[in-house]
Amino acid sequence: MSVRVLRRLVIAICAAGIAGMIVTQIAENNGATLVFGITAALGAGALILVTAVVGPPVEAPDEELAGQVERDVRALVASGADEPGVRELVRKAVNLGRLRQSG
């Protein structure tokens, strides 16, 4: 079972627990409300655990590459490019790279 499927399953359990709490509270069945609440809490705990265990590893930034990117940004700005626009483009490129690594 992939991590994505596991996360979705746990989220579905949490949602079912919340819905169950609402329905059983309206029906004034406190025991069932407690059971659904515990189920939702366990699901939330499982989601936190799965994310902590299989989350992406945090890597140290490549200082040499970061320096090169900064030099390139400065060169583009020196040649007449709009600095906020160039920096926004760099941010978008970094976010795109992160999305591709996690997906």
Question: For 16-46, what is each residue's pLDDT tens digit?
Answer: 999 999 999 999 999 999 999 999 999 999 9
Structure confidence at residue 102 (pLDDT): 62
Report residue 100 as tokens: 């591709």
- Angle between the 30-54 and 3-26 helix axes, to the nearest 10 degrees? 160
- pLDDT tier, 57 (very low <50, low <70, confident <90, very high otherwise): low
| Rounded Cα distance, 38 and 24, in Å | 13
pLDDT at res. 20? 96
Neighbours of 14 (CB within 10 A): 19
| Residue 47 pLDDT grade (very low, low, confident, very high; cuts 50, 70, 90) | confident
The predicted structure's pLDDT at residue 32 = 96
Determine the pLDDT at residue 24.
96
Quote the pLDDT of residue 94: 87
- Domain boundaries along the sequence of the chain: 3-54, 63-102
